[in-house]
Amino acid sequence: MNVLGIESSCDETSVAIISNGKLVSNLISSQDFHTQYGGVVPELSSRAHLQIVLPLVKQSLERAGISAGQIDLVCATAGPGLIGALLVGLSFAKGFAYTRRKPFIPVNHIEGHIFSGFLMEEKPEFPYLCLVVSGGHTLLLLVESDTEIKKLGTTIDDAAGEAFDKISKLLGFGYPGGPKIQEAALDQRTDFTEFPVAQCKNPYDFSFSGLKTSVLRFIQKEYGEPSKIPSEHLPLIASSFQYSAVRALISKLEKALQNYPVKSISLVGGVAANKLLRDECSKLSIRYKKKFIVPSLEFCGDNGAMIAYRGLRLHENGIKYTFDFNAFPSLSDHTFIK
Ligand code: KG4
Ligand code: ZN
């Protein structure tokens, strides 16, 4: 059984092949040119996906040592994401499957992330708590099976990655902010400034806009404006923000651990690449005697492997898709986050 997975929801075009349950290729092409605009420009993203998707599929088939005709199942991200960007990978995948009379599975991008822990040697065990932290989403979930995913909490304003990106912009580090904040924080030598963590009505919800405002107020009070921050003070602000953001995430995860008898914890999404967050989740799992699964860095950011894997699991669960004339499949039939 050969599975083709295509991801094109934002600024990564990625194509993966899983052969007989083993990942044999996961190619990722990142659109680094967005850095000059300080964020992703949707139309440029769509055009870049269009140029690279076919060469990536050809290269993936070569790597896997199979021909296009040997693909048995085609999966692609169908949302959420940038409409134009999604349309490129999705239309390509649907066309690929339709012309070869092969099954196609539309995959919810977040569910791709949720199951990305299964790409690791040690896999999550149901039921598990999953913290999804990406540029567009922050979710705390109880994953009970392939098709039972309970939403415990979400962000009421900015996503975790978005907060990293905004603070990075404020400090003049640029986009994407997460890795830049993490790097700057490494040079921090003095005490942290503690920024407050917002409390929400739902104990499992997150809020990052207050944290962003606190950082801005701190900068205004201490320096007048961001451009006046002495460069030797930047690591302190970066690390204080990072520390506060991680604390906000960990505190909600810990609350859920106290109330849900789970077997494992999984941390996924682009922000799961953050070393402090990985370390703190790991410590928490040791304290609560839970298995902790975090994908390797290759599978934290957007990738085709997680899409192929999630699609395969849905296919194995008997989930089907019938081709029609709508560009976007109705994701309600293929989404299990409730
Ligand atoms: O999952 P992802 O690749 O794309 C979305 O689906 O959104 O996540 C991208 C986000 C960006 O906001 C980026 O700044 C953040 O992940 N990120 C990080 C790190 N690496 C990437 N945030 C914190 N620390 C990192 N090391
Ligand atoms: Zn993502």
Kindly report, residue by residue over 75-107, the tens digit of the pLDDT: 999 999 999 999 999 999 999 999 999 999 999
Residues spanned by the domain of 41: 2-114+302-333
Residues 63, 133: one domain?
no
* 53 CA from centroid of ligand 1 (Å): 22
* Measured CA distances, 191 to 212, 217, 292 (Å): 19, 18, 29
Q: Under DSSP, is residue 51 helix (H, G, I), strand (E, B) or coil?
A: helix
Tokens of 31: 């659109």
What are φ and ψ of residue 202, in 5° steps?
A: -80, 120
Quickly state the pLDDT bin for 20 (edges 50, 70, 90): very high
* 164 CA from centroid of ligand 1 (Å): 8
Residues 221, 89: one domain?
no
Tell me whether residue 338 is in a domain.
no
Tokens of 157: 């304003």
121 Cβ neighbours under 8 A, 6+ residues apart: none
Q: Quick: pLDDT tens for 50-76.
A: 999 999 999 999 999 999 999 999 999
Residues 83, 154: one domain?
no
Tell me whether residue 119 is in a domain.
no
Residues 325, 268: one domain?
no
| Top mutation candidate among 28, 82, 108, 164 for ligand 1, by most atoms within 8 Å of CB | 164
Residues 31, 149: one domain?
no
Q: Quick: pLDDT tens for 117-171.
A: 999 999 999 999 999 999 999 999 999 999 999 999 999 999 999 999 999 999 9
What are the contacts of 152-155 at 24+ separation with CB within 8 A? 152/204, 152/256, 152/260, 153/200, 153/202, 153/203, 153/204, 153/205, 153/206, 153/252, 153/256, 154/205, 154/206, 155/205, 155/206, 155/207, 155/208
Residues 143, 251: one domain?
yes
Tell me whether residue 74 is in a domain.
yes
pLDDT at 187: 82
Please give the single-letter amino acid code of residue 161: G
Q: Is the pLDDT of residue 175 over 70?
A: yes
236 Cβ neighbours under 8 A, 6+ residues apart: 188, 190, 192, 193
Tell me whether residue 102 is in a domain.
yes
Measure the CA–CA gap between 14 and 20, rounded to whole angstroms: 20
pLDDT at 190: 67
**What is the rounded average pLDDT for all residues in the chain?**
95
- Nearest-CA residue for atom 2 of ligand 1: 270
Residues 235, 325: one domain?
no
Dihedral over Cα of 219, 225, 227, 228: its sign: negative
Residues 99, 147: one domain?
no
CB of residue 301 inside a 6 A radius of ligand 1: yes
* 304 CA from centroid of ligand 1 (Å): 16
Q: Quick: pLDDT tens for 204-257.
A: 999 999 999 999 999 999 999 999 999 999 999 999 999 999 999 999 999 999
pLDDT at 37: 86
- Nearest-CA residue for atom 7 of ligand 1: 135
Tell me whether residue 328 is in a domain.
yes
CB of residue 112 inside a 6 A radius of ligand 1: no
Q: Quick: pLDDT tens for 315-338.
A: 999 999 999 988 898 888 889 999
Tell me whether residue 146 is in a domain.
yes
Q: Quick: pLDDT tens for 261-289.
A: 999 999 999 999 999 999 999 999 999 99
The count of structural domains within the chain is 2
- Nearest-CA residue for atom 16 of ligand 1: 270
Q: Under DSSP, is residue 13 helix (H, G, I), strand (E, B) or coil?
A: strand
Residues 245, 317: one domain?
no
Residues 130, 256: one domain?
yes
Tell me whether residue 192 is in a domain.
yes
* 69 CA from centroid of ligand 1 (Å): 35
Counting beta carbons within 10 angstroms of the beta carbon of residue 241, is it exposed (0 to 12), middle (13 to 18) or buried (19 or more)? buried
12-19 β-sheet, strand order: 22-30, 12-19, 2-7, 73-79, 104-108
* Measured CA distances, 319 to 104, 312, 313 (Å): 10, 10, 9
DSSP class of 173: -
Please give the single-letter amino acid code of residue 303: N
Residues 92, 187: one domain?
no
* CATH code, domain with 135: 3.30.420.40
Read off the pLDDT of each residue in 20-42 and give the average, rounded to a whole number.
92
Read off the pLDDT of each residue in 178-186 and give the average, rounded to a whole number.
95
* 189 CA from centroid of ligand 2 (Å): 32
pLDDT at 331: 82
Q: Which of 199, 102, 145 is nearest to 317 (CA)?
A: 145
Tokens of 184: 């700057």
Counting beta carbons within 10 angstroms of the beta carbon of residue 21, is it exposed (0 to 12), middle (13 to 18) or buried (19 or more)? exposed
- Nearest-CA residue for atom 18 of ligand 1: 178
Residues 239, 258: one domain?
yes
CB of residue 134 inside a 6 A radius of ligand 1: yes
